[in-house]
């Protein structure tokens, strides 16, 4: 009983931050994302009556075993099996640095483990299960441009594809400014989000924001889309900065690149940034401007690496 799956990371244009149910990982708000073509996790899962213990290997290390095994236990229960498991997972990018490794990781694990256990789940059921593993993982199951419908119960909170990957050729240039693991996990960040005095203001306006962004994507209005996602990223980080205790994910290089993005716009190069729970930036641009922007980034010694991504399909068995 063995299966292997590959799943993309995703970049959120409207962010998920804060949970209204801790165990089920029900979000305080809906979110919108795009799957990324060059950041992915490949996971092989095998259940066997001959294994004497569970084993988990992530990027050649024994890591996050408890969280993975808790998740595997849910799948064993669903499939009514008790075999021990072997999980081998590999990211093609740095783990736990704010590059959404838990999204691609749990999406790949969900698909590989359910297939290995002999379960045949619909996309919606897979998305629900992935969400329980790690919230944003539910958005790495469907294709292309994705909406996570907030919902208010286990069955009503899942992600759907708004458009396939070939709908719009926008690019996400991931700018990696540090290879360090981040010091505060997003799991903890979600827990303290509501301590920010600005959190309720954000929630009061978020449905309207989601509606606007969906319209800009529908119209392929890149400027309006870019302005909205950059403001959204700054709003998310305002919540983080003003939580108790405060969360500061940015490095000096993060701010330097933010300022450079604004400069590039003044020079008529349309590019916008968004940032998740880490120091790295995602520069969103139109395909025809990718090389021009990549050349401008070469002057920054602080940048370790850039990774160019297009929109991608969701999780797949291989």
Residues in the site for ligand PMV, rule: CB under 6 A? 12, 15-17, 31, 100, 102-103, 134-136, 186-187, 190, 276-277
Q: According to the 3-state scheme, what is the secondary structure of 155-206?
A: HHCEEEEEECHHHCCEEEEEEECCCCCCCCCHHHHHHHHHHCCCHHHHHHHH
8 Å CB contact between 300 and 258: no
- Among candidates 13, 23, 61, 26, which has minimal Cα distance to 228? 13
Q: Identify whether 212 is preceded by a cis peptide bond (ω within 30 of 0).
A: no
Question: Least separation, in Å, of the C-beta of 210 and ligand PMV?
Answer: 12
Question: Least separation, in Å, of the C-beta of 295 and ligand PMV?
Answer: 28
Largest CA distance in the chain: 63
Q: Which is closer to ligand PMV, CB of 3 or CB of 103?
A: 103
Residue found by looking up tokens 């993005």 in the block: 261
Burial of 83 (0-12, 13-18, 19+ CB in 10 A): middle
Q: Which is closer to ligand PMV, CB of 55 or CB of 194?
A: 194
Q: Which is closer to ligand PMV, CB of 222 or CB of 249?
A: 249
Question: Least separation, in Å, of the C-beta of 314 and ligand PMV?
Answer: 15
- In sequence order, the β-bridge partners of residue 5 are 43, 317
Distance CA 43, CA 318 (A): 10
Q: Which is closer to ligand PMV, CB of 40 or CB of 76?
A: 40
Q: Which is closer to ligand PMV, CB of 30 or CB of 226?
A: 30
Q: Which is closer to ligand PMV, CB of 5 or CB of 14?
A: 14
Question: Least separation, in Å, of the C-beta of 237 and ligand PMV?
Answer: 9
Distance CA 123, CA 161 (A): 10
Question: Least separation, in Å, of the C-beta of 142 and ligand PMV?
Answer: 15
8 Å CB contact between 78 and 47: no
Separation of CA 203 from chain center: 20
8 Å CB contact between 141 and 284: no
Q: Which is closer to ligand PMV, CB of 16 or CB of 71?
A: 16
Question: Least separation, in Å, of the C-beta of 36 and ligand PMV?
Answer: 12
Question: Least separation, in Å, of the C-beta of 31 and ligand PMV?
Answer: 5
């Amino acid at each position: 009983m063995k299966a292997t799956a590959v799943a993309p990371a995703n970049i959120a244009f409207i962010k998920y931050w804060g949970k209204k149910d801790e165990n089920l990982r029900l979000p305080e708000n809906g979110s919108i994302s795009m799957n990324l073509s060059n950041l992915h996790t490949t996971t092989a899962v095998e259940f066997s009556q001959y294994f004497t213990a569970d084993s988990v290997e992530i990027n050649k290390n024994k890591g996050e075993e408890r969280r993975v095994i808790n998740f595997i236990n849910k799948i064993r229960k669903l499939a009514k099996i008790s075999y021990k498991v072997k999980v081998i997972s590999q990211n093609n990018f740095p783990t736990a640095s704010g590059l959404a490794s838990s999204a691609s990781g749990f999406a790949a694990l969900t698909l590989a483990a359910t297939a290995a256990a002999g379960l045949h789940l619909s996309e919606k059921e897979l998305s629900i299960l992935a969400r329980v593993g790690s919230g944003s993982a539910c958005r790495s199951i469907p294709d292309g441009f994705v909406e996570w419908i907030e919902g208010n119960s286990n069955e009503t909170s899942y992600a759907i594809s708004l458009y396939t990957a070939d709908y719009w050729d926008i690019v996400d240039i991931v700018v990696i400014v540090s290879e360090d693991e981040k010091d505060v996990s997003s799991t903890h960040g979600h827990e303290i989000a509501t301590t920010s005095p600005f959190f309720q203001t954000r929630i009061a306006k978020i449905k309207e924001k989601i509606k606007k962004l969906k319209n800009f994507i529908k119209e392929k209005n890149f400027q309006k889309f870019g302005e909205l996602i950059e403001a959204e990223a700054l709003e998310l980080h305002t919540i983080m900065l003003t939580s108790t205790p405060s969360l500061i994910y940015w490095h000096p290089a993060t701010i330097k690149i933010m300022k450079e993005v604004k400069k590039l716009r003044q020079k008529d190069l349309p590019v916008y940034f968004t940032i998740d729970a880490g120091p790295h930036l995602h520069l969103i641009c139109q395909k025809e401007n990718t090389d021009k922007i990549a050349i401008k980034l070469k002057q920054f010694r602080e940048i370790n690496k850039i990774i160019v991504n297009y929109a991608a399909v969701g999780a797949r068995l291989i």
